[in-house]
């Protein structure tokens, strides 16, 4: 298929490009490089032994996006472009609503102009909010607790309403759990700017000595070892879920929502221990008070994706930490190395 990929130069987008190109899809990337790198796209092409079309553009520039979409004539869009930091979204709500909502509306206008009926959207488990029950299935109520989560939930609604108005449309809303890891080659991976907010990129910088120790945000949660539990999913598995969703979008119409996780939870201490084993020494850590807004535990019920998308996570925590370590040790400063 001809696939337009917004935000393709970012973390999840770059890994998805490798899988898409590996399956013979023709891709065109639109990215502002606000948080992505042209170097990632160069490396994707080397890894895939192919070429891709790329445009530096802001998705909110509807005229530009429409021109690109009309010329490329995509059969589907994978929509990654957006802002994603929960804490920052509380401080900059207008920017988050603008990029994530205005950006999505702008994309739909460009898709309409180009006659493209399919879109795969990067949503997030954060749309669920405090768990009413666990694991979360797709029928769990949504009650986002951050501006970021609100933008994802609102974009889901916009895309669902768009599909309802167009009989030919197919919308796949993928609610990612905690994406981690890197391509096993170590050529592409997560390249956070500044101090990483998330556990695994922070731990990776502890491993290379760029940070003195991991701060464990709370060990008094009602979990077996007291630290928070998340459903970490290898970014390569996640990338493959997009290929599966694309196949599904070619076969059905309407809007569908899928949890993309492993169905298994790991605690902060378990991830720290796994990373220490990968590096071959105990990584330093200190227990700190809980981080405001954090929940104790979350896991996906990923059965719907298994039955309808015929997709299932195959890589485990060992694969996740090994790949991060390969990437981080070869690229201690990310794409700026």
Residue numbers annotated as active site? 148
* Nearest-angstrom CA–CA distance, 264 and 145: 23
Among 294, 310, 318, 336, binds ligand UDP (CB under 6 A): 294
Q: 99, 111, 134, 199: which one contacts ligand UDP (CB under 6 A)?
A: 199
Among 11, 128, 176, 202, binds ligand UDP (CB under 6 A): 202
Q: Which does 249 bind (CB under 5 to 8 A by kind): ligand UDP, ligand NAD, none?
A: none
**Distance, CA of 169 to CA of 164 (rounded, Å):** 8
- Residue 69 CB coordination number (10 Å): 24
Residue 127 contacts which entry, ligand UDP, ligand NAD, none (Cβ below 5-8 A, type-dependent): none
The yes or no reply on residue 291 touching ligand UDP (CB under 6 A) is: yes
**Residues 6+ positions from 91 with CB-CB distance below 8 Å:** none
Contact indicator for 230, 178 with CB cutoff of 8 Å = yes
Query: What is the Cα–Cα distance from 58 to 41, expressed in whole angstroms?
Result: 17
| 291 binding partner (options ligand UDP, ligand NAD, none; Cβ < 5 to 8 Å by kind) | ligand UDP
| Cβ atoms 3, 26 nearer than 8 A | yes
When CB distances are held under 5 to 8 angstroms depending on the partner's kind, the choice from ligand UDP, ligand NAD, none that residue 179 binds is ligand NAD
Cβ-based neighbours of 142, under 8 Å, separated by 6 or more: 127, 128, 129, 153
Min CB(269)–ligand UDP separation in Å: 9
Q: Does 106 bind ligand NAD (CB under 6 A)?
A: no
State the residue number with the nearest CB to ligand UDP. 228
Kindly state whether residue 233 participates in binding ligand UDP, applying the rule CB under 6 A.
Answer: no
- DSSP E strands, the chain: 2-6, 26-31, 53-56, 76-79, 118-124, 170-176, 178-180, 214-217, 229-230, 232-234, 254-260, 266-267, 285-288
- The answer to whether 32 contacts ligand NAD (rule: CB under 6 A) is yes
Residues 6+ apart with CB under 8 A from 122: 7, 12, 79, 80, 82, 174, 176
Compute φ and ψ for 128, nearest 5 degrees: -75, -35
Q: Which residues are bridge partners to 179 per DSSP? A: 233
Which of ligand UDP, ligand NAD, none lies near 321, with the C-beta cut-off 5 to 8 A by kind?
Answer: none
Closer Cβ to ligand UDP, 44 or 229, answer by number = 229
Of 106-114, 136-144, 193-201, 255-263: span binding ligand UDP (CB under 6 A): 193-201
Chain positions contacting ligand NAD, by CB under 6 A: 7, 9-13, 31-36, 58-60, 80-82, 84, 99, 103, 122, 124, 176, 179
Chain positions contacting ligand UDP, by CB under 6 A: 178, 197-199, 202, 214-217, 228, 230, 268, 291, 294
């Amino acid at each position: 298929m001809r696939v337009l990929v917004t935000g393709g130069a970012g973390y999840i987008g770059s890994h998805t490009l490798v899988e898409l190109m590996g399956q013979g899809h023709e891709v065109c990337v639109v990215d502002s490089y606000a948080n992505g790198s042209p170097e990632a796209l160069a490396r994707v092409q080397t890894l895939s032994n192919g070429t891709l079309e790329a445009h530096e553009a802001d998705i909110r520039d509807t005229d530009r996006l429409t021109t690109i979409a009309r010329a490329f004539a995509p059969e589907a869009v994978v929509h990654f472009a957006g802002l994603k930091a929960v804490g920052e979204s509380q401080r900059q709500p207008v920017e988050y609503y603008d990029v994530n909502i205005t950006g999505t509306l702008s994309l739909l206008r460009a898709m309409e102009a180009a006659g493209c009926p399919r879109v795969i959207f990067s949503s997030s488990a954060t749309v669920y909010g405090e768990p009413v029950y666990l694991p979360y299935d797709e029928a769990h109520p949504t009650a986002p607790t951050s501006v970021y989560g609100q933008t994802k939930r609102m974009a889901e609604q916009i895309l669902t309403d768009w599909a309802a108005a167009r009989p030919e449309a197919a919308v796949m809303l993928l609610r990612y759990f905690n994406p981690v890891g890197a391509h096993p080659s170590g050529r592409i991976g997560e390249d956070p700017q500044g101090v990483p907010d998330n556990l695994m990129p922070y731990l990776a910088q502890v491993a290379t000595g760029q940070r003195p120790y991991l701060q464990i945000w709370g060990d008094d949660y009602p979990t077996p070892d007291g630290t928070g539990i998340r459903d970490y999913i290898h970014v390569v598995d996640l990338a493959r879920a997009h290929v599966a969703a694309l196949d599904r979008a070619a076969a059905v119409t309407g809007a569908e929502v899928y949890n993309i996780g492993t169905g298994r939870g790991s605690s902060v201490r378990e991830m720290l221990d796994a990373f220490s084993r990968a590096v071959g020494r105990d990584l330093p850590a200190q227990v700190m008070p809980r981080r405001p807004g954090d929940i104790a535990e979350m896991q996906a019920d990923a059965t719907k994706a298994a039955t309808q998308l015929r997709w299932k996570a195959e890589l485990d925590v060992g694969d996740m930490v090994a790949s991060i370590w390969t990437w981080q040790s070869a690229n201690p400063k990310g794409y700026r190395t």
